[in-house]
Amino acid sequence: MKFYCLDCPKEVSKNAKRCSSCSTKNNSWNRGLTAKTDPRVKKNGENIWISRRKNGTIHNNGNKKGWETRRKNGTDKHSDITKKNISIGILNSEIYKNAIKNPERSKNISLGQQRRKERDGYICSPEAREKISQKTLKMYKNGKFKIQSNSASLLFDQLEKIFDIKLEREHLLKDKLYDAKWKNYLFESDGSYWHSRDGAKENDEYKNKLAQENNYHLFRFKNNSIEDVKNIIDQNYDLFKSIFMEI
C-alpha cells in the first residue's frame, strides 16, 4: 500500500502525514520563514549577544573580562599552524605592504619600540631573542637562511681574491655563527645596525669568550659599506698577509 502527502501528490512513509517540503511550509515553529527572514531568530540572536556581553564571555573595547578569562585558562592561544597562516596572510596583505612604506607608520613603530625599551630595558625579551637565535640556526642548518650582509660578503670575497685562499663562511661553533674562518682564526664583520641592537654587546662578549675557550684567534672589523671594506684591507694588509701567507 502506498501513502501520499495530505497537501501534494508526493509519496510519503507510512507514519508521515506530509512530505518534507510541505512539513517545512506548515511547521508551527518557522511557518515557512528562514533564519534570515524570521524576526524571532534575529531577536533571539540579539538577546544572546547582550547576555554574552553582560557575563563577559565576549571581548570588546569596553569589556575585557571574557578575553582575560580565556588568556588565563589558555583557550585564547592559536595552534602553530594557525599562527603561521596568520603571519603569511598579514605579510602578503596590501594593508601591511602599504603600512611599512608609510613614513608616519614607521615613525610610530620606532616610538613604540623606544617606549618599550625605556619601560622594560629592551625591545625583545631575552626569551624572545633566544627563540629567534635558535630558529635562525635551524634555518641556517637547513640551508634556508643567508646571514651575511653584502658588505661582509664583499670583504671576504676580496680577501679570497687577493690572497688566493678559500675561507669557510658562517662557521658554526657550538651555538654561535662566525662570519668567516681560516684555520684557527675567526673573523667578524660588525655592521653598526646589528651590533647596536638590544643584547648585541652581550652576544659579542659571549662569542669572544667562546672563541678564546676553543683556542681560536678572533678578529673584528667595523664594516658598513664598500668604502669600509677598502679601508679594512688597506689598514690591515700586513695582518692578513701574516695570517694567510703564514709568514
Beta carbons of 179 and 148 less than 8 angstroms apart? yes
143-244 homologous superfamily: VSR Endonuclease (3.40.960.10)
The residue extents of the domains of the chain are 39-73, 80-120, 143-244
Strand order in the sheet with 185-190: 168-173, 176-182, 185-190, 217-222
Nearest to 238 by CA among 150, 163, 152: 163
In angstroms, rounded to a whole number, what is the distance separating the alpha carbons of residues 83 and 79?
6
Place of cell 650582509: 149
Q: What are phi and psi of 246, to 5 degrees?
A: 55, 50
In angstroms, rounded to a whole number, what is the distance separating the alpha carbons of residues 35 and 217?
76
In angstroms, rounded to a whole number, what is the distance separating the alpha carbons of residues 139 and 145?
5
Structure-block grid coordinates of residue 215: 683556542
pTM of the model: 0.47
Question: In a 3-state reduction of DSSP, which class is residue 188?
Answer: strand
Give residue 114's Cα distance to chain centre.
20
pLDDT (tens place) for every residue of the chain, 247 residues total: 777 777 777 888 877 777 777 765 555 555 556 656 666 666 666 565 556 656 655 544 444 555 566 666 666 566 677 777 777 776 677 766 676 677 776 677 677 777 777 777 766 777 777 777 777 777 766 766 555 667 888 899 999 999 999 999 888 888 888 999 999 999 999 888 777 776 788 889 999 999 999 999 999 999 888 888 999 999 999 999 999 987 4
Helix or strand holding residue 177 (H, E): strand 176-182
Q: How would you classify the pairing of strands 176-182 and 185-190?
A: antiparallel
Structure-block grid coordinates of residue 205: 662578549
